[in-house]
């Protein structure tokens, strides 16, 4: 189980200082924040013999952090404008970007080069499928 340290910026930090801050941290932050290299310094240690209770979300999975997602994606939110098909589309698009585009974007960002033509072609193919789907649905 990770332990997290940070500069004292609020009273919450003082309330949990010296304790396992895992639940408090993940109550306010998405898990992906700690996967970024610039935030690795926040994990200051682990507790021996403990298993991680919080795991990275699967590609396409929605965040359970309060207000970490648009309200219409939240469970229990009902809208005359958004339904389950919108949630499925959001999940599919997010999964595509997390598994295909994001890894390539990280490499390109670090190297200063453009993303590969293969990824550009995949994005164009997905956009074309989506456009065809919308056109058939709007008829």
Q: Tell me: the pLDDT tens digits for 110-123?
A: 888 999 999 999 99
The reply to whether 137 and 95 lie within a common domain is: yes
Domain encompassing residue 95: 79-139
Residue 105 and residue 116: Cα distance in Å, rounded? Answer: 9
Residue 45 and residue 37: Cα distance in Å, rounded? Answer: 16
**Among 48-52, 60-64, 74-78, 128-132, which range has the highest average pLDDT?**
128-132
63 belongs to a structural domain: no
Q: Are 46 and 5 in contact (CB under 8 A)?
A: no
Q: How many folded domains does the chain comprise?
A: 2
More confident residue, 131 or 4: 131
pTM: predicted TM-score of the whole model, two decimal places: 0.59
Q: Is the pLDDT of residue 1 over 50?
A: no
pLDDT, position 59: 78
Q: Is the pLDDT of residue 18 over 70?
A: yes
The reply to whether 52 and 83 lie within a common domain is: no
Q: Are 40 and 84 in contact (CB under 8 A)?
A: no
């Amino acid at each position: 189980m990770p332990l997290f340290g940070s500069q004292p910026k609020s009273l919450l930090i003082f309330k949990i200082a010296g304790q396992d801050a895992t639940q408090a941290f993940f109550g306010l932050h998405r898990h992906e924040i700690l996967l970024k290299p610039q935030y690795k310094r926040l994990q200051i240690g682990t507790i021996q013999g403990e298993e991680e209770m919080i795991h990275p979300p699967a590609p396409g999975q929605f965040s359970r952090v309060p207000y970490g997602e648009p309200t219409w994606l939240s469970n229990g939110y009902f809208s005359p404008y958004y339904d389950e098909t919108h949630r499925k589309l959001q999940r599919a698009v997010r999964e595509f970007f997390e598994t295909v585009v994001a890894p390539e974007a990280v490499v390109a960002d670090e190297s200063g080069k453009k993303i590969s033509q293969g990824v550009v072609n995949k994005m164009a193919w997905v956009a074309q499928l989506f456009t065809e789907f919308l056109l058939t649905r709007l008829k």
